[in-house]
Structure 1
Amino acid sequence: MTRSLLGSRLVEVGDGSLAGITAVDAATEVAPQAAGLTAHAVDSIWSSVEALYRTGAYPAVTFCLRRRGEIVLNRSIGYAQGGGPGESRGPHARLAEPDTPVCLFSASKAITAMLVHKLAEEGGIDLDDRVSRYLPEFTGGGKDRTTIAQVLSHQGGFPMFHVNAADKGPETLLDWDRCIELICAAPAEKGGKRLAYHAITGGFILAEVIQRVTGMAFTDYLDTRFRQPLNMRYFTFGLESSSRARAARNYIAGQPVRFPISLLAKQALSADFAEVVDVSNRDYFMDAVVPAGNLYATAEELSRFYQMMLDGGVYEGRQIMAPATIRRAIKPAVRLRYDHTLKIPMRYSEGMMLGVNPFGLYGPMTGNAYGHLGFMNILGWADPDRDIAASLMVTGKAILGGHLLALGQLLSTLSWQCRG
């Protein structure tokens, strides 16, 4: 067992083979019984996290699990920097910690979506209105009839950028005004009818609606509605320079990404797989605001957000969102059907990826769970049937490999041990 002291008490965790690279925020974790679990259940879940790390796909893993509102696991394994595939662990190697900020990539979409729902709650917009009511230029290629609700549920008809040679490359994604211009001019693809995951495009339009209606910067709206009320340290799109030394570095991992998967990934991400990973580690990416893809948070912060949703919008006695707002946000908007971007069956609400029975994104029999996936295998979700709010942060970007089996095992263990 690894003995780790972080916070106020000494605890024993994990397998001795991971000694020295496991950290526990003992100040936040409660005894399993306080959350209605056995010690065996918590040990089983953590052992599954360790097994996921041992696949070698993730240089760093941070994990936070709340049950019945109590934190039972808030831990990290591995290296935030200097422990990537083929990388020597020299003097600049840095261990991950439970409070290491990690880029959520597409798991950021859930936060942007809930900000849109918050604006609707405040009376600023009607989700069933056309986007063009708020962005008059959003009419190109037949998009004038597209509603905000359709954008939220990935039925907006503009899942990918249509760019010329001058706009190719990931740097374009960091130019907000150019992205809005390109999206507004792009042709629609069966808007309102065709399900196709909007990997990058939808986030810009939703955030621009917030800015136009409120007159506030998108980041200021996030700060005043969620970040400050939830007492977050990070939870920002982009990352201030003073915090970057603590951020986790992203790495290409797993088996090589080859055709046709490489082509599908490029279409979804609007850039080559390797380019996306490379750009995500650069200062100009952390300077930018990408509403669908660069929110930084700790595992505990993301779990805290989903706990607030699970609690009907309440955090520490304060109403952050109305219960009716959350009910609409997690209500199925799209039945399980083929997603033309992801090339798999998906089920969405207006902003969330939903669980599926008998087995879905969040494990077996999680049909009432909601949350979002991020590039690759980052997860944040709530499951009301198990009364859990969980987050899994990983820094290796691997599409194929043995990690998928270990991830499935972790989700199955979590679902089984937290049942009832």
Structure 2
Amino acid sequence: MSVRVDVPPGMVHGDVDEGYGPVADAFRRNFAERDEVGAACAVYRHGRKVVDLWGGYRDGGRGLPWEADTVVVMYSTTKGVASLAVALAHARGLFGWDTPVADYWPEFAWRGKERITVRQLLAHQAGLPVLDVGLTVADLADPDLVAAALALQRPLWEPGTRHGYHAITLGWYESELLRRTDPLRRSLGRFFADEIARPLGLDFCIGVTDDEVLRRRATIHGGRTGLQMLLHLRDFGPRTLAAMLKPGSATRLSVSNPPELTSDTALNTPELLRVEIPAGNGIGRPSAVAAAYDAALTGALGLTPATLEALVRPAEVPAGGDEDVLLKVPARFSLGYLKPTPAVPFGSASDTAFGTPGSGGSFGLADPDTGIGYCYAPNRLGFGLLDEREIAVRQALFHDVLGERPQAARH
């Protein structure tokens, strides 16, 4: 449902530390100037929360205000949270980055996948963005069934030679890797809940098990039609949009299994929130995501220096170059994360930042140089691979407050 509402200034709440006023100003302007409906933003620095903002409506159609404890679906921002669980498992010695996945999961070797390493899989280089076996939402509750479907998949390109965004499948592959290496055989959602969310007190989950979370959730306002997307051609880029709209393209198929996922508001349904889609259906408070990234940097998460250094290190570009086969734009991926490029700058100029943006406007990241853990998440879905509302807030933080580089590419 597409919605436009007027948000009075008095509906923006929260606090910022001294010196972070420009972030609050940018957050407010999103409601006044950029048609924001509801959103929240949080920033941690060196273990301390310095920005905690929320405002607008968690349901614009019904006029329900966004509260301090409102949770929101974050689409692919979930990938970064999920990959923190993978990083923690690596830090505990459960697997190695450069070991073939099949060493831990023998069936993965089927159909030409025997040499794919964990690093290649997490860098979207495995050629596995599409799943040929059709799944239902109910199937997603059976990890053995999902694992069999994943194992049967044949790569779309020679692994390691190119990369293409594994929009949905990445999280399921990560989850099965965890199930095969965790002594308790936990799924990614359960591992995250037990080892990260509960110890750190984070209000975020992948696979809802408590209906109280559903009662606090923000309604996703979308309704993005093909025509509306064409009107935002500049935001998407013509080649990206053409690939997304073309029936039968790998880009389209990568977000069409189960078929319910083709609707941009599908994640309003409890059924899709109760199953685990670690690449896209995480739900929680943006402050929890910012805190999780902060914990990765401060040591509270439990990453070893070697594991953290691997996340900070520049991405290894595949032999075929950095153009994404599916998104048709240059990109750099490493260990489950997007890394900064001249086209998509984020964090400080050192390019040590790591994070993931989500469809519609969310973004969570860690920036080691400044000690920042950051997340912004709205409930009105925007257009494009990145969103002007989020960029405006991130620009205020990194450029205006911290004196770092601009957060948008110059054209």
Partner of 1:187: 154
1:192-219 Cα offsets, whole Å, 9 max, x none, are: 2111111111211211121122233223
Distance 1:169 1:225, change over 3 A: closer
User: Deviation per CA, 1:142-161, whole angstroms, max 9, x where unpaired?
Assistant: 11111111111111121112
Give CA deviations for 1:223-243 in whole Å, capped at 9, x if unaligned: 232112212233443352122
Residue 72 of structure 1 corresponds to: 50
2:357 partner amino acid: L
Between the aligned partners of 1:57 and 1:101, the Cα distance in structure 2 is 20
1:326 maps to: 308
Does the 8 A contact of 1:53 with 1:61 survive in 2?
A: no
1:280 aligned residue = 267
Task: Name which of 229, 233, 253 aligns with 1:257.
Answer: 229
CA RMSD of aligned residues (A): 2.8
Specify whether residues 168 and 217 from structure 1 end up closer, same or farther in structure 2 by C-alpha distance, changes over 3 A only. Answer: closer
**SS of aligned partner of 2:291:** helix
Q: Does 1:349 align with 2:311?
A: no
Once residues 50 and 239 of structure 1 are traced to their aligned partners in structure 2, the CA distance between those partners, rounded to angstroms, is 33
- Contact kept? 1:48, 1:410, Cα under 8 Å: yes
Contact 1:302 1:380 in 2 (8 A): yes
Deviation per CA, 1:54-78, whole angstroms, max 9, x where unpaired?
4555421110122343322211121
Rounded to whole Å, the distance in 2 between the matches of 1:407 and 1:286 is 24
Structure 2 residue 135 is matched with structure 1 residue 145: no
Counterpart selection for 1:108 from 78, 88, 101: 78
Q: How does 1:110-189 map to 2 (within 5 A)?
A: 110-163=80-133, 167=134, 176-188=143-155, 189=157
Which runs of no fewer than 5 residues in structure 2 stay unpaired?
1-5, 231-240, 405-411
Sort the Cα spacing of 1:19 and 1:282 in 2 relative to 1 into closer, same or farther, 3 A. same
Paired position in structure 1 for 2:167: 199
Distance 1:126 1:406 in 2: 38
Of the three residues 2, 7, 13, the one matched with 1:23 is 13
Task: Note the C-alpha offset of 1:80.
Answer: 0.9
* 1:188-337 matches, cutoff 5 A: 188=155, 189-214=157-182, 215-218=184-187, 219-252=189-222, 256-257=228-229, 260=242, 261-263=244-246, 266-270=252-256, 275-311=262-298, 313-314=299-300, 320-335=302-317, 337=322
Length, aligned pairs only = 375
Q: Which amino acid aligns with 1:208?
A: E
Counterpart among 49, 52, 70 of residue 27 in structure 2: 49
Which residue of structure 1 aligns with residue 235 of structure 2? none
Counterpart amino acid of 1:373?
A: P
**Would the aligned equivalents of 2:38 and 2:56 in 1 still touch at CA under 8 Å?**
yes
Q: Which segment drifts farther, 359-368 or 279-288? A: 359-368
State how far apart, in whole Å, the 2-side matches of 1:43 and 1:352 are.
Answer: 29
Answer whether contact 1:58 1:397 (CA < 8 A) is retained: no
Q: Does the 8 A contact of 1:330 with 1:350 survive in 2? A: no
* Amino acid in the other structure paired with 2:94: G
Give the counterpart of 2:41 among 53, 56, 63.
63
SS at match of 2:93: coil
Q: Which amino acid aligns with 2:229?
A: V
Q: CA deviation at 1:248?
A: 1.1
5+ long unaligned stretches in structure 1: 1-15, 33-37
Give yes or no for the alignment of 1:398 onto 2:382. Answer: yes
**Mean Cα deviation higher: 265-274 or 323-332:** 265-274
Task: Determine if contact 1:137/1:184 at 8 Å carries over to the other structure.
Answer: yes
TM-score by length of 2: 0.82
